[in-house]
């Protein structure tokens, strides 16, 4: 009975211990995934901040830390390669990348495979990270590899980062690196695959305490010291947080770089403002010239309109005068037709006489001046009232005159 009773609790303890180990391992795996993703996000932010002041290359500590973090993420719970003898040999993440990223257009997989100075699988994976960053396609490579879920399941165990929800976050945060211009040498010491990558967590574990919290801590320590023994004086109490000289120097350097960048931007904006002011003044002057031209053209159009209206009035007056002359000529013709036939015959004889005289002698300006126009009615009436034998000579008398004998 005792053995059974002891056996029962022992079995129950074993079962409870197995469940506790599983929950603990699951908790550890979740914490590990969350830590790697969080540190990766911090490293991407530091890379973007550093790229604003200097070029990112192999000597940059921010890049070396980022490369180590990405290598740890892609190697998280990676399955080993089983040999013919049943043993499992370690495998690099490059074996997964070269298979899953074949579908990327214009990929660099073949060029990295053919590199002479890179022999190990780990070194090829590190070279791929650098080439993908220089090509600005790292996020595209990761997204394509994660979409190939069958290949990912074949290379990774359950609980891996690339198989969880964190994978989508990884592809999204790597997209911001496409805005950085990287410059790497593919023959440096960073490609040495003999040593595993180590993450430096110290840049992300610094705690910067504000001045308010420092003063409150000092006051609290003073009150605690005054309430204690006399030996614990507040003079021996210092600030809880001190920064070394290198960190102060780096901060001053960053502030100086930001100040220089701000000055350059200020000069650029001032020059741009000056150019815009010049363009504005030119446009204002051109606008004034155009307005003056419009006013001159309006004045000219008004003058032309007035002249045309005056011409129209004159033409209307002339038309009225012509109409009155036509009426007068019609009245004269009617008055001529109302004369006696004897007077008309006498007038016709006199008109024939005048025609003979005009044929024998040429008209002179003096004659025209004396007689006027033969076609007018007034001159015709004056000629009929004159006597032909008193003022006009006949052709016979002219021929018989002694002074005009023919030769």
pLDDT at 153: 94
pLDDT at 74: 94
pLDDT at 384: 46
Read off the pLDDT of residues 130-170 as tens digits, 9 standing for 90 and up: 999 999 999 999 999 999 999 999 999 988 999 988 888 89
What structural domains does the chain harbor?
A: 26-204 (1.20.58.900)
pTM of the model: 0.49
Read off the pLDDT of residues 244-290 as tens digits, 9 standing for 90 and up: 667 788 888 888 888 888 888 888 888 888 888 988 999 999 999 99
Read off the pLDDT of residues 305-316 as tens digits, 9 standing for 90 and up: 999 999 999 999
Residue 186 makes CB contacts below 8 A (sequence gap 6+) with 115, 117, 118, 127, 130, 131
pLDDT at 349: 54
What residues of the chain score a pLDDT lower than 50?
1-15, 210-215, 227-242, 344, 354, 356-407
pLDDT at 366: 40
pLDDT at 275: 86
On the 0-12 / 13-18 / 19+ scale of CB atoms within 10 A, 211 is: exposed
């Amino acid at each position: 009975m005792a053995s059974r009773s002891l056996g029962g609790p022992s079995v129950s303890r074993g079962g409870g211990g197995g469940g506790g180990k599983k929950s603990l391992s699951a908790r550890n795996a979740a914490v590990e995934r969350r830590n790697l993703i969080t540190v990766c996000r911090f490293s991407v932010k530091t890379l973007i901040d550093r790229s604003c002041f200097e070029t990112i290359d192999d000597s940059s500590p921010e890049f070396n830390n980022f490369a180590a973090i990405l290598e740890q993420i892609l190697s998280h719970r990676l399955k080993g390669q089983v040999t013919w003898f049943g043993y499992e040999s370690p495998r690099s993440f490059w074996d997964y990348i070269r298979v899953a990223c074949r579908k990327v257009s214009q990929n660099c997989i073949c060029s990295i495979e053919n590199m002479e100075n890179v022999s190990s699988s780990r070194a090829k994976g590190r070279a791929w990270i650098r080439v993908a960053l220089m090509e600005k396609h790292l996020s595209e490579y990761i997204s394509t590899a994660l979409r190939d879920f069958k290949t990912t399941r074949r290379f990774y165990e359950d609980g891996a980062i690339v198989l969880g929800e964190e994978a989508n976050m990884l592809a999204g945060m790597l997209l911001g690196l496409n805005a950085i211009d990287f410059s790497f040498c593919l023959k440096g010491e960073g490609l040495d695959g003999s040593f595993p990558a180590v993450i430096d967590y110290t840049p992300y574990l610094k705690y910067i305490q504000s001045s308010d919290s420092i003063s409150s801590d000092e006051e609290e320590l003073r009150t605690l010291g005054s309430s204690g023994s006399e030996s614990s004086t507040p003079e021996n109490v210092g600030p809880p947080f001190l920064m070394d000289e290198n960190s102060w120097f780096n901060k001053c350097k960053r502030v100086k770089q930001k100040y220089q960048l701000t000055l350059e931007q200020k000069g650029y904006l001032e020059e741009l403002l000056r150019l815009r002011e010049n363009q504005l003044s030119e446009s204002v002057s051109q606008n004034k010239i155009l307005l003056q031209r419009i006013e001159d053209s309006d004045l000219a159009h008004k003058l032309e309109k007035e002249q045309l209206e005056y011409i129209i009035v004159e033409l209307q007056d002339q038309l009225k005068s012509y109409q009155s002359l036509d009426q007068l000529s019609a009245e004269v013709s009617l008055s001529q037709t109302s004369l006696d036939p004897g007077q008309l015959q006498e007038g016709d004889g006199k008109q024939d006489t005048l025609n003979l005289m005009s044929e024998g002698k040429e008209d002179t300006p003096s004659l025209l001046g004396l007689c006027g126009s033969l076609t007018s009615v007034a001159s015709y009436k004056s000629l009929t009232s004159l006597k032909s034998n008193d003022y006009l000579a006949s052709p016979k008398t002219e021929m018989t005159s002694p002074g005009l004998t023919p030769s």
